[in-house]
């Protein structure tokens, strides 16, 4: 609908993650809630933060599998032009309550509105595959009782490297190639996608990476033509 309306008015609507250099890219933040017997399973009125143990374990699963699922949630070469420091992109694998500098944020609303915001995905992804791996990663955390690290209240965008190391905050993959290799190492992804989709996805993305590595860009020409 958006693309059609844009054409009608003489424009082109793009969902490319980073169409322009020097400005913030386009993300696809995903909000997730979990309900059991009609009640929000992420909410606990007796917890100081109003967050249930189920929510924490769900976050633990997302953090554990974050690097592996990035190939699905951020599946293009251009995706990683968005996931860079300096543009408010969620490049740090951490969670927070209200802190937008973390990859996973728990908005302040509580009760039936208690939810998780997963901020890494971008609109170039296949939403069905992305939702499948995100939900499965979270549920794996619940099933296996994966404890997340403590929530981070500091501004991670401005956090020194030494402090990140102290808090064991890892970055997301810096390229599609790195994300693919992380995906290969995590058996959960193949289990969720199934053999056929998993193999075809890998085949397609590895070919895309090979095509990119041999392509000579305008940046390279401007940078090196006078060598």
Between the CA of residue 60 and those of 26, 74, 98, 181, what are the distances in Å?
Answer: 26, 20, 17, 21
List the domain boundaries for the chain.
Answer: 24-218
- What is the spatial distance between Cα 116 and Cα 185, in angstroms, rounded to a whole number? 26
The pLDDT assigned to 47 comes to 94
CA distance 102 to 148: 13
The pLDDT averaged over each successive group of 10 residues in the chain (227 residues) is: 93 91 89 95 94 97 97 97 86 90 92 94 96 98 96 90 93 96 96 97 97 94 95
Q: How far apart are CA 163 and CA 169, in angstroms?
A: 9
- Extract the tokens encoding 167: 């808090």
Cα–Cα distance for residue pair 104/212, rounded to 1 Å: 30
DSSP notation for 107-165: -S--GGG--EEE----TTS-HHHHHHHHHHHHHHHHHHTPPPPPPP-S-GGG--HHHHH
Cβ partners under 8 Å of residue 39, min gap 6:
112
Question: Regarding beta strands 104-106 and 95-97, do their DSSP bridges make them parallel or antiparallel, or are they unpaired?
Answer: parallel
pLDDT of residue 101: 87
Q: Which fold has domain 24-218?
A: Creatine Kinase; Chain A, domain 2 (3.30.590)
pLDDT at 216: 94
Map tokens 């020097």 to a residue. Answer: 22
**Do 115 and 31 meet the contact criterion of CB atoms below 8 Å apart?**
yes
Question: What is residue 141's predicted lDDT score, i.e. its pLDDT?
Answer: 97
């Amino acid at each position: 609908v958006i693309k059609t309306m844009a054409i009608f008015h003489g424009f082109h609507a793009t969902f490319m993650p980073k169409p322009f250099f020097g400005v913030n890219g386009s993300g696809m933040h995903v909000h997730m809630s979990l309900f059991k017997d009609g009640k929000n399973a992420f909410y606990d009125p007796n917890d100081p933060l109003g967050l249930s143990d189920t929510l924490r374990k769900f976050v633990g699963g997302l953090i554990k599998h974050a690097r592996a699922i990035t190939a699905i949630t951020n599946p293009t070469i251009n995706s990683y032009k968005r996931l860079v420091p300096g543009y408010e992109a969620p490049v740090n694998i951490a969670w927070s309550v209200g802190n937008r500098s973390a990859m996973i944020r728990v908005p302040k609303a509580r009760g039936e509105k208690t939810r998780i915001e997963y901020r890494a995905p971008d609109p170039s992804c296949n939403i069905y595959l992305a939702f499948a791996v995100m939900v499965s990663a979270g549920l794996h955390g619940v099933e296996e009782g994966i404890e997340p690290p403590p929530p981070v209240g500091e501004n991670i965008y401005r956090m020194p490297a030494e402090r990140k190391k102290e808090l064991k905050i890892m970055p997301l993959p810096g390229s599609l190639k790195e994300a693919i290799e992380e995906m290969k190492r995590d058996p959960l992804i193949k289990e969720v996608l199934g053999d056929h989709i998993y193999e075809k996805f890998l085949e397609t993305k590895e070919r895309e990476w090979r095509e990119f590595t041999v392509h000579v860009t305008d940046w390279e020409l401007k940078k090196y033509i006078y060598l």
